[in-house]
Amino acid sequence: MLLGVDTGGTFTDFVVLENGRLRFHKELSTPDDPFRAIARGIAQLGLDADGLHLVHGSTVATNAILERKGARVLFVTNEGFEDMLAIGRQSRQALYDLRPASRHHLLPDGTLGIRGRIGANGEEVQKLDASGLEILAKRAGAYDAVAVCLLFSFLNPAHEKRIGECLDGKVTFSSLSHEVMAEHREYERASTTFLNAYVGPLVRHYLERIRDHLAPRHFFIMHSGGGVMDADLASRQAVKLVLSGPAGGIVAAEAVCRQLGLGKALTFDMGGTSTDVSLIDGAPARITSGQMAGMPVAVPMMDIHTIGAGGGSIAWIDDAGLPRLGPESAGADPGPACYGRGGSLPTVTDAHVVLGRIPAQIRLGGHMPLDIGAAMGALKAFGHSLGLDVWQAAKAVIDLANEHMLGALRVVSVQKGHDPSEFALICFGGAGGLHACDLAELLGCQSIVLPLACGAFSALGMIVGKRQADFSLSRRIALYDTHAKERLLEVFDSLKERARGQLPGLKLDYHLQCDIGYVGQGFHLTVPFGGETDAMVRQFLSLHEQLYGHLLDRDVEVVTMRLTAIAETPTLQWPASDICNGLSRPVAYSEVMGCGRVPHYRRDQLEWGTCVEGPALILEDTSTFWLKAGWCLQVVEHGHIMIKRGKR
Please, are residues 188 and 196 in contact by the beta-carbon 8 Å criterion? no
- For residue 254, the SS3 value is helix
Judgement on whether residues 46 and 89 belong to the same structural domain of the protein? no
Number of H helices, E strands in the chain: 16, 35
Average pLDDT, the chain: 90
The H or E element containing residue 533 is helix 533-548
Judgement on whether residues 641 and 561 belong to the same structural domain of the protein? no
What average pLDDT does the segment 301-320 reach?
90
Write down the pLDDT at residue 570. Answer: 67
Write down the pLDDT at residue 579. Answer: 52
| 75: Cα within 13 Å, side-chain hemisphere | 26
The DSSP code sequence of 119-182 is -TTSSEEEPPPHHHHHHHHHHGGGSSEEEE--TTTTT--HHHHHHHHHHTTT-S-EEEHHHH--
Please, are residues 202 and 241 in contact by the beta-carbon 8 Å criterion? no
Judgement on whether residues 82 and 187 belong to the same structural domain of the protein? yes
Residue 497 lies in a domain: yes
What average pLDDT does the segment 127-131 reach?
96
Residue 176 lies in a domain: yes
Nearest to 118 by CA among 166, 84, 60, 159: 159
- Strand 424-428 and strand 447-450: the pairing is parallel
- Rama region for 189: left / alpha / beta (φ>0; ψ in -120 to 50; rest): alpha
Nearest to 446 by CA among 630, 613, 598: 630
Write down the pLDDT at residue 430. Answer: 84
Question: What residue type is assigned to position 607 of the chain?
Answer: E
In the chain, the N- to C-terminal Cα span, in Å, equals: 39
Range ranked top by mean pLDDT from 121-130, 369-378, 634-643? 121-130
Residue 352 lies in a domain: no
Judgement on whether residues 90 and 11 belong to the same structural domain of the protein? no
Judgement on whether residues 178 and 79 belong to the same structural domain of the protein? yes
Write down the pLDDT at residue 71. Answer: 96
Judgement on whether residues 496 and 555 belong to the same structural domain of the protein? yes
* SS3 letters across 293-357: CCEEECCCEECCEEECCCCCEEEEECCCCCEEEEEEECCCCCCCHHHCCCCCCCEHHHHHHHHCC
Judgement on whether residues 504 and 554 belong to the same structural domain of the protein? yes
- For residue 101, the SS3 value is coil
Cα–Cα dist 213/544, whole Å: 52
* Higher pLDDT among residues 26 and 222, named by residue: 222
Judgement on whether residues 86 and 172 belong to the same structural domain of the protein? yes
Q: Give the number of other Cβ atoms within 10 Å of residue 211's Cβ.
A: 15
Write down the pLDDT at residue 272. Answer: 82
What average pLDDT does the segment 224-250 reach?
93
Write down the pLDDT at residue 584. Answer: 66
* Higher pLDDT among residues 1 and 528, named by residue: 528
The DSSP code sequence of 583-601 is --S-SEEEEETTTEEEEEE
pLDDT above 80 (res 238): yes
Write down the pLDDT at residue 582. Answer: 41
Report the domain count for the chain. Answer: 4
Nearest to 9 by CA among 210, 235, 271: 271
pTM of the predicted protein model = 0.88
Residue 129 lies in a domain: yes
Q: Give the number of other Cβ atoms within 10 Å of residue 197's Cβ.
A: 29
Question: What residue type is assigned to position 564 of the chain?
Answer: T
Q: What is the percent of the chain with per-residue pLDDT over 70, rounded to a whole number? A: 96
Write down the pLDDT at residue 97. Answer: 82
Task: State pLDDT tens for residues 168-188.
Answer: 999 999 999 999 999 999 999
Q: What is the percent of the chain with per-residue pLDDT over 90, rounded to a whole number? A: 67
Cis ω before 615 (30° cut-off from 0): yes
Judgement on whether residues 593 and 630 belong to the same structural domain of the protein? yes
Cα–Cα dist 563/306, whole Å: 27
Residue 262 lies in a domain: no
Domain boundary among 164, 192, 220: 192
Cα–Cα dist 412/419, whole Å: 10
Range ranked top by mean pLDDT from 334-338, 441-445, 566-570? 441-445
Task: State pLDDT tens for residues 574-602.
Answer: 655 555 454 467 888 888 888 899 999 98
Domain boundary among 149, 172, 192: 192
- Strand 424-428 and strand 264-270: the pairing is parallel
Please, are residues 429 and 269 in contact by the beta-carbon 8 Å criterion? yes
Cis ω before 216 (30° cut-off from 0): no
| pLDDT range class, residue 621, cuts 50, 70, 90 | confident
* SS3 letters across 200-243: HHHHHHHHHHHHHHHCCCEEEEECCCCCEEEHHHHHHCHHHHCC
Judgement on whether residues 85 and 182 belong to the same structural domain of the protein? yes
pLDDT above 90 (res 383): yes
Domain boundary among 519, 537, 567: 567
Cα–Cα dist 175/196, whole Å: 7
Task: State pLDDT tens for residues 51-97.
Answer: 889 999 988 898 888 788 999 999 999 999 999 999 888 777 777 88
Parent domain of 501: 468-567
Nearest to 192 by CA among 183, 205, 201: 183
Write down the pLDDT at residue 464. Answer: 87
Residue 266 lies in a domain: no
Residue 368 lies in a domain: no
Residue 346 lies in a domain: no
Judgement on whether residues 168 and 184 belong to the same structural domain of the protein? yes
| pLDDT range class, residue 343, cuts 50, 70, 90 | confident
Judgement on whether residues 149 and 83 belong to the same structural domain of the protein? yes
Write down the pLDDT at residue 588. Answer: 84
What average pLDDT does the segment 421-447 reach?
94
Give the CATH number for residue 12: 3.30.420.40
pLDDT above 70 (res 365): no
- For residue 615, the SS3 value is coil
